[in-house]
Structure 1
């Protein structure tokens, strides 16, 4: 009898898992056995969890039927960068690290804007990012390329059931706001409304601005599917590549790195080693030459009063970075001298040659004063100084 029951239970388990995964598309807090049990599951790719990503990528192929227009392409580009700011400036620098402040209504608007990125809810995003900093490049880090490999850190980790639930105990400062919990729980709502809005805009333009040569489906493909897919991979590059490529200024406990290329792609998030050294700063580009577009936009929002209390990088951290850069420059010069000994001899010759050349030029410009005639022996001394070149 028990063996029959166990076989019946085994038959029900796959269906139960699949039905739970589908239910979570509409209610991300729904679990059949509790979120803690899901988080204890081993890491593995869940096929049902992959379907949204497959659908998103397949949607890009719609361009075969809808075609292309300049307006649609530029809309996709604009929505990529605008929503990249929503990821970096809102999900990351506000909800994850609270590097600035805003009103409660402003906070709600930020969560709605962040929802258009189609990267789950603000509380889920913040929970995972805080967990990442706590265990960066350790076994518990959900998306460390050093622990799990490049592909898993880029996209695999988000398809695992264990990483799906939000641990609200790790974001208590945010979970006390029911409106944020609502948006996080029903995280499909904002993306659906956003996609519908893009389609509606395209349909209106097809009717009232036919010269733009776009329509609802075309704008949906370019403005939602293509732009969102590019946005996802741009964001994921920080997980997968910012711990592999670039330069380490600060000696952090992880392998975070600074990359100008990633900073361009992600509007400033590429200064990842800076960020891991001091997470509470509003800016990731600590120095003026490190481009951080997200920070510039946040400064603009602060100037109009929508946000305030932007947190600066402590001078001690800035000095530490400058000293590290100085030491790195000296070491690089020493390595270059060892690798190319002819340069060392050249460096000794150049200063000496320059000194000889300068002395020769100065000597050739000297004008020896003529011996004064007897009648001029009692001239004013100022007259005599005009006869002598100041370089002599």
Structure 2
């Protein structure tokens, strides 16, 4: 499918599961509380810090490790980073990897649930995530991971981490309000900014790769789909915006194929490899850079 395939189909492929989507919608509605709780430097720093940490857990581990196995990690690190990924409230590691592998098999084809060329922007951005049929984990696509009981546990109980994170932020804010009143924060402020705002921004930053990165940007390689490289989205998502590169060769630990393509996730993975936390980061073979090249 090319970028000139014609107008997007406006009709969604299936109805949204509204009752099942209630927690997701409640998170968004709760963001309006920023107008009542105010903001402080410490609350804003917490929101940014949790955004970056959880985005790295998604991009570095849910995506580049569990979906594509672009490096090696020990079982304990594998579990801890899968747990960190659940804090993003984007379901469990097995579900995420299975869905993403299916996407690569059917990118911008009829089977792709979040192709903007097939279903329009809003459906590809968020609608697909709110359907009932998209909730079960396709375990046959992640047979390499289902043998780990701890990963199956996290996949089934992926809300445990976020449910603990939210009151943890409330408690931290209450403690800071008493122990360090000069910081000007509170329990409500830390919860609203550290959990609600940070999570909602994280949702939509991640979703831009499904929607915007298949519509706006440049195409270096002929990948048979509409994937594009977008430097702004790469900054927002710690490197995921080099999406045409990634669809051309998903087996590399880096998505910014050249030094000027900033890929913060890859830099983080390199640091972990230097510390021997992970190993065997897969490079981009030289032959890949010239294969099916458009420009």
Question: Where does residue 137 of structure 2 map in the other structure?
Answer: 166
Match 1:259 to one of 225, 230, 235: 230
Match 2:252 to one of 281, 286, 290: 281
Question: Where does residue 218 of structure 1 map in the other structure?
Answer: 189
Question: Where does residue 178 of structure 1 map in the other structure?
Answer: 149
Question: Where does residue 76 of structure 2 map in the other structure?
Answer: 105
Match 1:132 to one of 99, 103, 122: 103
Question: Where does residue 90 of structure 1 map in the other structure?
Answer: 61
Higher relative contact order (CA 8 A, sep 6+): 2
CA shift at 1:319, angstroms? 3.5
Question: Where does residue 296 of structure 1 map in the other structure?
Answer: 267
CA shift at 1:73, angstroms? 1.3
Q: Structure 1 unaligned runs (5+)?
A: 1-41, 326-392
Q: For 1:228 and 1:44, how far apart are their aligned partners in 2?
A: 24
Q: Secondary structure at the match of 1:249?
A: coil
Specify the structure having the higher radius of gyration (Cα). 1
Q: For 1:308 and 1:204, how far apart are their aligned partners in 2?
A: 39
Q: For 1:63 and 1:106, how far apart are their aligned partners in 2?
A: 35
Q: Secondary structure at the match of 2:145?
A: helix
CA shift at 1:254, angstroms? 0.6
RMSD value, Cα: 1.2
Match 2:35 to one of 64, 77, 102: 64
Q: For 1:94 and 1:204, how far apart are their aligned partners in 2?
A: 37
Q: For 2:152 and 2:107, how far apart are their aligned partners in 1?
A: 26
- Would you say the 8 A contact 2:219–2:294 is kept in 1? no
Q: For 1:313 and 1:249, how far apart are their aligned partners in 2?
A: 15
**Any idea what the Cα deviations from partners look like across 1:133-165, whole Å, max 9, x if unmatched?**
000000000111011111000110011111010
Q: For 1:203 and 1:55, how far apart are their aligned partners in 2?
A: 23
Q: For 1:320 and 1:47, how far apart are their aligned partners in 2?
A: 45
Q: For 1:306 and 1:179, how far apart are their aligned partners in 2?
A: 19
Q: Structure 2 unaligned runs (5+)?
A: 1-12
CA shift at 1:324, angstroms? 4.2
Question: Where does residue 372 of structure 1 map in the other structure?
Answer: none
Task: Give the alignment's TM-score, normalised by structure 2.
Answer: 0.93
Question: Where does residue 378 of structure 1 map in the other structure?
Answer: none
- Would you say the 8 A contact 2:92–2:154 is kept in 1? yes
Q: Where does structure 1 differ by over 3 angstroms across 4 or more consecutive aligned residues?
A: none
Q: Secondary structure at the match of 1:311?
A: coil
Q: Secondary structure at the match of 1:245?
A: coil
Question: Where does residue 211 of structure 2 map in the other structure?
Answer: 240
Match 2:167 to one of 189, 192, 196: 196
- Would you say the 8 A contact 2:71–2:279 is kept in 1? yes
Task: Give yes or no for the alignment of 1:47 onto 2:6.
Answer: no
**Any idea what the Cα deviations from partners look like across 1:283-310, whole Å, max 9, x if unmatched?**
0000111000000000000001110010
Question: Where does residue 3 of structure 2 map in the other structure?
Answer: none
Q: For 1:288 and 1:64, how far apart are their aligned partners in 2?
A: 42
How many residue pairs get aligned? The number is 283
**Any idea what the Cα deviations from partners look like across 1:37-58, whole Å, max 9, x if unmatched?**
xxxxx62111112212210111
Q: For 2:65 and 2:278, how far apart are their aligned partners in 1?
A: 10
Q: For 1:63 and 1:279, how far apart are their aligned partners in 2?
A: 39
Q: For 1:71 and 1:277, how far apart are their aligned partners in 2?
A: 41
The 5-angstrom pairing of residues 110-121 of structure 1 reads 110-121=81-92
**Any idea what the Cα deviations from partners look like across 1:212-250, whole Å, max 9, x if unmatched?**
111111100000000100000000000011000000000
Q: For 2:21 and 2:87, how far apart are their aligned partners in 1?
A: 20
Q: Secondary structure at the match of 2:61?
A: helix
- Would you say the 8 A contact 2:57–2:82 is kept in 1? no
